[in-house]
Structure 1
Amino acid sequence: MSTAIVVGAGIGGVTAAVALQRCGWQVTVLERAAELGEVGAGISVWPPAVAVLEELGVKGVAKASVQSKPAGMRRPDGRWVVTAPDLGVELPVMIHRAQLHDLITAEFGPAVTVRTGYDVRSVTQDADGVTVDDDLRADLLVAADGIRSAVRTALYPQYAGPRYSGFTAYRGIADVDLDDGGGETWGRGQLFGFARLIDGRFYWYGTANQPAGATGEPAVFGSWHDPIPRLIAGSEKILQNDIYDLTLPLVPFARGRVALLGDAAHAMTPNLGRGACSAIEDAGALGRHLMRTDDPVRALTAYDAERRPATTKLVKRSRSVGRLAQAGNPVLCTVRDGLFAVGGKLMALRARR
C-alpha cells in the first residue's frame, strides 16, 4: 500500500488525508498542537469546495436557511450601496471552522493515523520516498503546515514568504437574536462583515488599517450601524490577527515527492473568503491526480500545473479587493461606493431583462 505523510491538521491537511485515504493510501497526519482540532471563528464554504467535500463523503455541510432579509454592501451609517441579489452573488455556506473540521475528520478510517504534539524538524527526499526527522518514511509528503510553513522554507529557502497586508482583523461569534441578512460594511480604512452560521449563531469580522503588531479592541465599529455594536457586545471572545499573504510569484507547489497545499502554498488575504476553500480544492485535485497514475511525481507535477495558476489569480484578486476595501482616502471611497451602486443597478436591470 502506498504511504503518505501530511504535515499539519488544519482544514486543508485533514481534507488531504481523507482524499489520500479514498485513493487507497495509508496516511500519517503530523500536527504540532497537543490536540486535534480547529480554532477561530466562521468560514465561508463556496460551491466548488462544497462539491469536493461531497465527493469525499463529508456529510453535514448543508446550505444555510434562506435569508429573510437582504445581504450586501452598506455604508457605516447603514445605507445600502448594493445588495447581493443585484450583483447575482450566490451566498456560500457559513459554518464554524471547528464544526467543519469535525465533519471532515469524522471520515477518518483505519488508514489514517494522527500524531499530535509532533514538530517537524527536517524533511529529506530521494528517488524512492520522503523522510521526516530521520524517523518517518513515506512515498509522499503533503505540507499543509500554514503560511509560515517549515517544509516550504526547507524546499525554497530563498523565497521571501509572508507579506503584511497593512491591516489587522478582528473576529468573533455572537449568539444574538437578529433578523438581518448580513453582508459587509465598507468605511474608510475599516470594514465589517457578518453572516449567520448554519447553527444559527452569527460570525462577524472587522478589519482596520494599522501597523503590524498593534493591539486593541475594535472600538471604531461601535458607532457603525445596527446590528454591528450588538454583534461585538454579544461575543464572548474576540480574536485579533494581523493579515498576511504570500509574496508573488508563488513557488512551485510540488518538488519531487513533496507537495505544498493550502496556506503553505498560496496564503491569501480573506477579502474573497476563499482561503480554506482553496485548500479543500487543493486536496480534491491532489487526490484526483493521484488516482490517474501510479507515479507520485507525475501526479504532483500535474497537481501543481492545475492549482498554482488558479490560486495565483485568487491571491492577486484578493489583494486587489483588500486594497479597495481598506482605502482611506475619502474621495476614493465615495467613488468606490458610487461605482458599486451603479454596477448593482445595471446588473439588476440586465437580470430583469
Structure 2
Amino acid sequence: MSRPRAFVIGAGIGGLTAAAALHRRGWAVTVAERAAALEPVGAGIALAPNAQRALDVIGLGDTVRAMSAWQDEGGLRTPSGHWLSRTTQDAAAERFGGPVVVAHRADLVALLAARLPEDAVRTGTPVEVTDPGAAGRPATVRTADGREHTADLVVAADGIHSAARRTLFPDHPAPRYAGYTAWRFVVPAPERPFSPHETWGRGSVWGTVPLHGGRVYAYATATVPAGLRAPDDERAELLRRFGHWHHPVPDLLAAVDPAAVLRSDVYRTAAALPAYHLGRVALLGDAAHAMVPNLGQGGCQAVEDAVVLAHHAAPDPEGTPAALAAYTRDRLPRTMTVVRRSERVGRLTTLTSPPAVALRTAAVALLDRIGPRTALRSLDGIADWRPPEPYAAGTRGREAPADRRHTGGHTGGHTDGSGPGDPGALERRDRTA
C-alpha cells in the first residue's frame, strides 16, 4: 500500500518542521520552496521552551538546547544603559521548564532539512493551490511549469502574505502593518563583554543576544510609516537612530557590513481567520496567524502548529478533513491569544511621547522592585506549553509547574469572539466542500 502524500508549500521553519513531523508519521512528503536555495531570510530566532518541546517530537530538542550561548544575567535597559529589570536563564527554566535558546535561522533550517529524505525539498518551485480538495477528493496544486500535483494533504506555510490563504479565504482581510519596521543582523561577538539585553527607547527597540559559535544576533525596531527605507543604506540608518546608545550597540554597528543588514516592515493578523484549514489544505505559521515579534513567539507558534498538525494527521487519507478540523480547534484560539498578547507588548514599545515613555520606564522599574523577573510573566501560559499526547510522554527538559502546564495546544476559552466557532460546522462544511 502506497503512503499518503503531503505537499508542503514553503521551506521556512514551520514548513520544514511540519514536513519532518509528517515524515515521521509515515507520510510521503514534498516541500516546495519559491526561493532558489535554502538560504533563509532572517538572522536569529528565539526558541522558547514550548518550541523546544515541540522539536523534541522530531528529535531535535536536545540539539537546539545545546546551541544556547546565553549564560549571563540579562534584561531590559534604557538607551543610556540603565537596567530596568533583570532575569536569568535559570529563572526561565524554573518557571517554564527550560531556558530560551536563540539560534541562527540558517542553522535550524539545516537541521530540519536533514530530517527529510534527500529529494524531499524542491527549491525554485513556486506553487499555487488550485483545488483545496474535500472528503472524497484530493487537493490539487500547480507548479510554475504548469504541472498539477494531487495530495492527500497540503500544508501552506507560505508566510505573512500567503497566496494560499488568499485562495482559501479570498474575502478575509490581509495582515496589516503594525506601525513599525525591523532590522536584523549577525556579527562576531565584540571583544568587550556585554550582557544580553533588550533596550527600549522612544518608539524604538534594540536587542543584543549571543549566538553559539562566537556570534551575536542584533535586532532593532522603530516606529515609521510603512514602506519607508533609508536614503543611503540601512546600516547608516541604524547609526543615525541607535549609534549613541549604550555598549555594545556602537561596536556592533561598526562591525556589520551594510549589505548584511536585513530590514522588513512588521505585519500582524488583522482578524482571526474562520479556520486554519479548508478541505485538505492547512494553513500554518505566519500564513495563519502573523504576529509582531515582541514575545519572540512567531517561529515558536509555527513549530507548535507543525507538531499538532502531524499529531492529528494520521496517515489515513480518508480521515484528513476531520484531522484538519481538530487542528483548527487546537490551534486557532491559542495562536490568536499569542497574537493579541504580543501586540499589547508591541504597543508599549511604540510609545513616542516623552511623558508616556517616562511613565513606562517608571512602571517597569517599579514592577521589577516589587517582584524581580516580572518580565517572565509575559510568557505564562505560552512558554509552558507541551505537545499533545502521545508526544508529551517523549518530551524532555524540566517539567513546568503543573498549574501553568498546557497540553493539546490551546489555552482554553476565547473571550473576544476570535475562536473557530462551532467545530461541528467546520467538519460539516469540509464534507460538502
TM-score for both structures, normalised by structure 1: 0.93
Determine the C-alpha separation between the residues in 1 that align with 2:337 and 2:71.
30
Pick one of 108, 132, 143 that aligns with 2:116: 108
AA at the equivalent of 1:314? V
Pick one of 304, 309, 319 that aligns with 2:328: 304
Compute the displacement of 1:123 (Å): 2.2
CA contact 1:172–1:232 (8 Å) conserved in 2: no
Number of the residue aligned with 1:118: 125
Determine the C-alpha separation between the residues in 1 that align with 2:69 and 2:246.
24
Question: 1:220 aligns to what SS in structure 2?
Answer: helix
Q: What per-residue deviation string (whole Å, max 9, x for no partner) do you get for residues 165-205 of structure 1?
A: 11111111121234222111101111101100122211011
CA RMSD, Structure 1 to Structure 2 (Å): 2.0
Compute the displacement of 1:297 (Å): 0.9
Determine the C-alpha separation between the residues in 1 that align with 2:164 and 2:130.
7
Question: 2:122 aligns to what SS in structure 1?
Answer: strand
Determine the C-alpha separation between the residues in 2 that align with 1:228 and 1:100.
26
CA contact 1:88–1:347 (8 Å) conserved in 2: no
Compute the displacement of 1:320 (Å): 1.2
Number of the residue aligned with 2:150: 137
AA at the equivalent of 2:345? V
CA contact 1:87–1:347 (8 Å) conserved in 2: no
Number of the residue aligned with 2:243: 222
Determine the C-alpha separation between the residues in 1 that align with 2:334 and 2:26.
27
Compute the displacement of 1:106 (Å): 1.0
Determine the C-alpha separation between the residues in 2 that align with 1:276 and 1:143.
15
Determine the C-alpha separation between the residues in 1 that align with 2:299 and 2:315.
25
Q: 1:137-176 counterparts in 2 under 5 A? A: 137-175=150-188, 176=190
Pick one of 223, 230, 255 that aligns with 2:278: 255
Number of the residue aligned with 1:128: 137
Number of the residue aligned with 2:23: 21
TM-score for both structures, normalised by structure 2: 0.77
Number of the residue aligned with 1:319: 343
CA contact 2:70–2:196 (8 Å) conserved in 1: no
Determine the C-alpha separation between the residues in 1 that align with 2:70 and 2:205.
25
Determine the C-alpha separation between the residues in 1 that align with 2:23 and 2:224.
43
Give the direction of change, closer, same or farther, for the CA distance of 1:107–1:178 in structure 2 (3 Å limit): farther
Q: Which moved more, 1:37-46 or 1:137-146?
A: 37-46
Compute the displacement of 1:88 (Å): 4.6
Number of the residue aligned with 1:207: 221
CA contact 1:143–1:258 (8 Å) conserved in 2: yes
Give the direction of change, closer, same or farther, for the CA distance of 1:197–1:178 in structure 2 (3 Å limit): farther
Number of the residue aligned with 1:94: 102
What percent of counterpart residues are identical?
42
Number of the residue aligned with 1:180: 194
Determine the C-alpha separation between the residues in 1 that align with 2:89 and 2:32.
45
Determine the C-alpha separation between the residues in 2 that align with 1:222 and 1:11.
32
AA at the equivalent of 1:164? Y
Q: What per-residue deviation string (whole Å, max 9, x for no partner) do you get for residues 115-171 of structure 1?
A: 222112342024321011261011010000001111100010111112001111111
Determine the C-alpha separation between the residues in 1 that align with 2:161 and 2:244.
36
Q: What per-residue deviation string (whole Å, max 9, x for no partner) do you get for residues 28-63 of structure 1?
A: 111111112312111111111111112211262124
Pick one of 195, 198, 202 that aligns with 2:212: 198
Q: What per-residue deviation string (whole Å, max 9, x for no partner) do you get for residues 199-229 of structure 1?
A: 2211011111111111122121011111111
Question: 1:185 aligns to what SS in structure 2?
Answer: strand
Question: 1:169 aligns to what SS in structure 2?
Answer: strand
User: Higher strand share goes to which structure?
Assistant: 1
Determine the C-alpha separation between the residues in 2 that align with 1:349 and 1:277.
22
CA contact 1:37–1:102 (8 Å) conserved in 2: no
Pick one of 232, 237, 242 that aligns with 2:265: 242
Determine the C-alpha separation between the residues in 2 that align with 1:56 and 1:275.
19
CA contact 1:254–1:301 (8 Å) conserved in 2: yes
Pick one of 287, 291, 295 that aligns with 1:264: 287
Question: 2:171 aligns to what SS in structure 1?
Answer: coil
Number of the residue aligned with 1:60: 63
CA contact 1:165–1:245 (8 Å) conserved in 2: yes
Question: 1:211 aligns to what SS in structure 2?
Answer: coil
- Stretches of structure 2 lacking an aligned partner (at least 5 in a row): 94-98, 231-236, 375-433
